Amino acid sequence: MKQREHFGSRFAVIAAMAGSAVGLGNIWRFPYILGEYGGAAFILVYMAACLVLALPIFYAESIIGRSSRSDTFGAMNKLAPGTPWRWVGLLTIISPLLLLGYYSVVGGWSVEYLFKSLSFSFTEVPAEEVPHFFGRFISSTWQPLFAHTAFMALVAGVVLGGVRNGIEKFSKLAMPALFILILVIVGYSLTLPGSFKGVEYLVKPDFSKLSADAIAAALGQAFFSLSLGVGTILTFSSYVKKEENLLVSGVGTAASDLLFAVIAAFAVIPAVFAAGLQPSGGPGLVFETLPYIFNKMGEGMPLLSTLVSSIFFVAILAAALTSAISMLEVGVAFLTDEWGMKRRSATLVLTFFCWSVGILCSLSFGPLADVKVLGLTFFDFLDHLCSDWLLPVGGLLFTTFVGWKMSKDKVRDEFTNGGTVNTRLFDTVYFLMRYVAPVGILVVFATNLLM
Ligand code: PFF
């Protein structure tokens, strides 16, 4: 039997998992969601959601992945042979591919904005013009399609390299670089006059603004941001060595994810306040507001502002790429493990599938804007289907599997590396996986259905 690939070190494991977790969810989504739900209070709820709900599901996926050393489908087949659980495995192969279809469109936007920035587009026109770039760009036919294609090609290129050469090398380079890049933007953002109000907004909680849907939004964001419920963490865990401490890689990943989200908020929100704009600007916040701010900053110093904005979009692109790679890897692992396909053909077939889904999503802002599925455009439909349903359903099934289907001894054995580590914490983590996480997800469902 062919030797399964492994991540080379603990740093590599955390870098690849954090690479999956840190993405558009942190830099594009987190700042506008917290802007919509009230700032500092939302951050606190989000942290609680990560700790008591997301982290246990992270461990459930890690336990299934490492104990089976398989892709999601193979894992279920091995751990619960002959049961319907393998359909859960199949579901979580399809969901990240659908997710990648529309994620790649947003990834493409960051490719385009990097080019716009490098070609001085933000500084050469009057400030009022800049926010309109976004609407004009996404509603056109070809430009977003080219950008989406370029993004998918980059993703396929890295996945083709394999776990050790492709994903690991890329993540090790991109994650620390990204961290430094965002800190540069934070530093810049905090020097802007008026940015202090933004800092206040991020550190002074106002609990009166916290509603039930803010809590549901925090839970949903935790899923999206930690890449849960779609088999990504499960698949990456199947490449983790037996000696690795799962507790540590989970905490390391969750902590870096949270850190990136909070830093991204400190990069974006103070700048929004400095420009006298609204933090509740919605999904356009990064793509509409920041170029406008960069334009204002660039008055008299277009070179400096171009440098800052280019750094920012490189950071977004790097983050989006490492996440997108992890979505594709789930399906590639399935096709190579289960169907015996070569990594190369598996990557190309799945890339083509995601690229085709992405075409529909990209065109849904322009020529296909009137084509609706259940009243939503392709892009909105897929976004809604993935974030509100597929991810939570996947997470619920994984944690139910570990908490109720696997034997407690096997779960303990995997989590504690045969009773050598984390033995004191096991009961708490097990309780969270068995009771707290499933109930928490059901609450998210109930809230989504009722609102
Ligand atoms: N966690 C990624 C982000 O925050 O952008 C999104 C994501 C990646 C979700 C991988 C799911 C996944 F499998």
Residue of higher predicted confidence among 47 and 291: 47
Q: Between 82 and 406, whose confidence is greater?
A: 406
Which residue has a Cα nearest atom 12 of ligand 1?
227
Ligand 1 contact, 110 CB (< 6 A): no
| Portion of the chain with pLDDT greater than 70, in percent | 95
Task: Give the C-alpha separation, 252 to 278, whole Å.
Answer: 33
Q: What are phi and psi of 373, to 5 degrees?
A: -115, 120
pLDDT digits (tens, 9 = 90+) for 18-43: 888 999 999 888 998 899 888 999 99
Give the per-residue pLDDT at 167: 66
Task: Choose one of 34, 62, 225 to mutate for the ligand 1 pocket test, by most ligand atoms within 8 angstroms of C-beta.
Answer: 225
Q: Is the pLDDT of residue 441 over 70?
A: yes
Unique residue bearing structure tokens 């430009």? 143
107 lines ligand 1 (CB under 6 A): no
Q: Minimal CA–CA distance to 137: which of 145, 125, 126, 127?
A: 145
pLDDT for residue 162: 67
**Rounded to the nearest whole angstrom, what is the distance from the C-alpha of residue 394 to the centroid of ligand 1?**
14
Ranges 90-94, 184-188, 292-296: which has the least confidence: 292-296
CA of 230 to the centre of ligand 1 (A): 9
Pocket test for ligand 1, best of 71, 99, 317 (most atoms within 8 A of CB): 99
CA of 50 to the centre of ligand 1 (A): 14
Is the pLDDT at 97 greater than 90? The verdict is yes
Query: Does 227 contact ligand 1 (Cβ within 6 A)?
Result: yes
**Quick check: CB of 54 below 6 Å from ligand 1?**
no
> Does ligand 1 lie within 6 Å of residue 30's CB atom?
no
Percentage of the chain beyond pLDDT 90 is 48
Residue 2 has pLDDT above 70, yes or no: no
Which atom of ligand 1 is nearest to 23's Cα? 5
Tell me: pLDDT of 297 over 80. Answer: no
Residues 6+ apart with CB under 8 A from 451: 213, 216
What's the CA-to-centroid distance between 232 and ligand 1, angstroms?
A: 8
Q: Is the CB of 70 inside a 6 Å radius of any atom of ligand 1?
A: no
For position 168, what pLDDT does the model report?
Answer: 66
Residue 376 bridge partners (DSSP): 373
Tell how far the Cα of 124 is from the centroid of ligand 1, in angstroms: 34
Copy the structure tokens of residue 425.
């914490």
The pLDDT tens digits of the residues spanning 368-382 come to: 999 999 999 999 899
**Domains of the chain, first to last:** 10-450 (1.10.4160.10)
- Average pLDDT score over residue span 242-264: 91
Q: Which of 5, 224, 242 is nearest to 233 (CA)?
A: 224
Does residue 23's CB lie within 6 angstroms of at least one atom of ligand 1? yes
Non-local CB neighbours of 15 within 8 Å, separated by 6+ positions: 168, 171, 172, 175
Q: Give 185 Cα–ligand 1 centroid separation in angstroms.
A: 23
pTM: predicted TM-score of the whole model, two decimal places: 0.89
Residue 350, pLDDT > 80, answer yes
**Within 10 A of 290 (CB to CB), how many other CB atoms are there?**
30
Could you please report the per-residue DSSP string of 355-406?
HHHHHHHHHTTTTTTT--BTTB-HHHHHHHIIIIIIHHHHHHHHHHIIIIIS
Distance CA 99, CA 182 (A): 25
Quote the pLDDT of residue 50. 93
Ligand 1 neighbour 235 (Cβ under 6 A): no
If pLDDT is split at 50, 70 and 90, which confidence band does 1 have?
very low
Most confident of 82-86, 88-92, 100-104, 387-391: 100-104
pLDDT at 3: 56
Closest to 97 (Cα-Cα) out of 159, 164, 147, 51? 159
- Picking from 38, 388, 52, the residue whose alpha carbon sits closest to that of residue 212 is 38
DSSP result, 216-266? HHHHHHHHHHTT-SSSHHHHHHTTS-TTS-HHHHHHHHHHHHHHHHHHHHH
**pLDDT tens digits for range 146-200:** 999 999 999 998 888 766 666 667 767 777 777 887 888 888 888 888 889 999 9
Query: Is the pLDDT at 6 greater than 80, yes or no?
Result: no
Least Cα distance to 260 among 421, 3, 30 occurs for: 30
Calculate how far, in angstroms, residue 310's C-alpha sits from the geometric centre of ligand 1. Answer: 23
Closest CA to 409 of 78, 51, 67, 84: 67
CA of 127 relative to ligand 1 center, distance in Å: 33
Burial of 39 (C-beta count, 10 Å sphere; 0-12/13-18/19+): buried
How high is the pLDDT of residue 312? Answer: 78
pLDDT for residue 345 is more than 90: yes
Phi–psi pair at 365, nearest 5 degrees = -90, -10
pLDDT at 164: 62
CA of 367 to the centre of ligand 1 (A): 28
Q: Which ligand 1 atom is nearest residue 230's CA?
A: 13
Q: What is the overall mean pLDDT for the chain?
A: 88
Q: Supply the pLDDT for residue 436.
A: 95
Among protein residues, the one whose CA lies closest to atom 11 of ligand 1: 227
- Could you tell me the distance, in angstroms and rounded to a whole number, from the CA of residue 166 to the centre of ligand 1? 18
**Which atom of ligand 1 is closest in space to residue 22's alpha carbon?**
4
- What was the pLDDT predicted at 344? 92
Helix (H) or strand (E) holding 126: none
Residue of 72, 159, 175, 227 with the most ligand 1 atoms within 8 Å of its CB, for mutation: 227
Q: Are 330 and 390 in contact (CB under 8 A)?
A: no
Amino acid residing at 202: L
Residue 84 above 70 pLDDT?
A: yes
Q: Whose CA is nearest to atom 13 of ligand 1?
A: 227
pLDDT at 141 over 70: yes
Euclidean distance between CA atoms 294 and 314, whole angstroms: 15
Q: 327 CB under 6 A from ligand 1?
A: yes
